[in-house]
Structure formats: C-alpha cells, structure tokens
C-alpha cells in the first residue's frame, strides 16, 4: 500500500446477508463517482471490514466497516460522501505516483504527504457531491461528530472543521462552474450532467 497502512480484517459478505441491500444501494454511487474520478465502475469493489469507517487499497477495494455500514448504510447522502472520499484517492494512479514522486522518507514527511492526499480526496468529494446534486451537510456533520475521537486525532488528518471547509470549498467551486456552464452552454450542460448521464438502474 502506498500510504503504508495495514488493511483491516476482511469479513465474508455471505455471513452478513442483512447488509446486502445496503451494499446494493451504494453501487449506483460507486458507478457515478468512479466516472467523475476518470475511472471505471469495475475499478472498485466493496469489501466488509471488521472495524473502521472506510478505506481503499491500491487494487480499488473499498473496505466498509461492518458496524458503520449497519448504522449508516441507508443514509445515502452521507454514504455518497464517504465513497466519494475513497474513490477520490484514485488508487489506480498510485503505481505511477511511486515512479514520478519522491515518497516520504521520515515520519513527519509521511504525515504531511498523507494530509495532502486526504485533502485532495476531500476536495474531490465536495466537487463530486455538487455534480451529483447531493447535499454535503450530512457528511460534514458526521465529520464534526468524529472530532476528539481517535481517528480524527491522527496526525494523518487535518481537524474536522478544516476538512469540512475543504469539502464545502470543493462543492461551492464546482457548483459555481456548473451554474456558469448551464447559463452559457445549456445544451452542453444537459449532455454532460453527471447526475443524469449515468442511469441509476445498476
């Protein structure tokens, strides 16, 4: 893994049949978010993890914590944000990143590098939510609820309020561009609107 993290323990999805519907609902967002990230739907797949919220590996496996999915899997706006963040890491480009960039050689450098990567993923999340016409408030409130907990005290992340500002900046930037393009090129906007371009019946 580029980021140096250990993978979570993987659970067999067949042992959690009650989560199948929740995972199926998320597939429509996975397809659209992959498109917005310049990837393909098949570049990403879901796995259940024994702990945590969500993370992605270099093969595009998105690990969703079983307890997190149980609690929040039906909150579509929140889940769109979480998936947007993981897909926003664009793991299919990590191999090229290794070749092109001098990777961190010390712990402080790794922390700085990781915060930069997390920022890019949060910004992408904001732009993607604007494209999909999804409210960014649910994921913002969720991040704020993590403030003070172990995951947000990690030096790999900026504080939750700062992350929320990054997400909202990405959302506002893309929303402004969408509004301007709609005014100037209404036909082009309708033809390339990501929220309508990809069918929901997946």
- pLDDT per residue as tens digits for the range 51-65: 999 999 988 999 999
Q: How confident is the model at residue 154 (pLDDT cuts 50, 70, 90)?
A: confident
pLDDT at 3: 57
pLDDT at 148: 75
Please name which of 26, 36, 193, 190 lies closest in space to residue 121, comparing C-alpha atoms. 36
pLDDT at 199: 45
pTM of the model: 0.84
Q: How confident is the model at residue 201 (pLDDT cuts 50, 70, 90)?
A: very low
């Amino acid at each position: 893994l580029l980021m140096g993290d250990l993978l979570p323990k993987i659970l067999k999805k067949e042992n959690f049949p009650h989560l199948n519907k929740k995972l199926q609902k998320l597939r429509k967002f996975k397809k659209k978010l992959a498109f917005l990230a310049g990837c393909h739907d098949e570049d990403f797949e879901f796995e259940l993890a024994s702990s945590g919220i969500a993370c992605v590996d270099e093969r595009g496996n998105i690990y969703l914590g079983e307890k997190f999915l149980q609690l929040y899997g039906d909150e579509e706006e929140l889940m769109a944000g979480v998936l947007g963040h993981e897909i926003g890491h664009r793991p299919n480009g990590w191999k090229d990143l290794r070749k092109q960039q001098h990777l961190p050689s010390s712990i402080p450098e790794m922390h700085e590098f990781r915060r930069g990567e997390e920022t890019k993923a949060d910004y992408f999340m904001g732009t993607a939510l604007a494209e999909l016409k999804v409210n960014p408030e649910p994921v913002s409130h969720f991040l704020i609820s993590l403030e003070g907990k172990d995951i947000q005290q990690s030096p790999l992340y900026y504080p939750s309020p700062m992350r929320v500002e990054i997400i909202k900046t990405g959302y506002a930037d893309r929303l402004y561009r969408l509004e301007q393009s709609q005014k100037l090129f209404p036909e082009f906007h309708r033809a390339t609107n990501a929220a309508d371009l990809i069918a929901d019946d997946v």
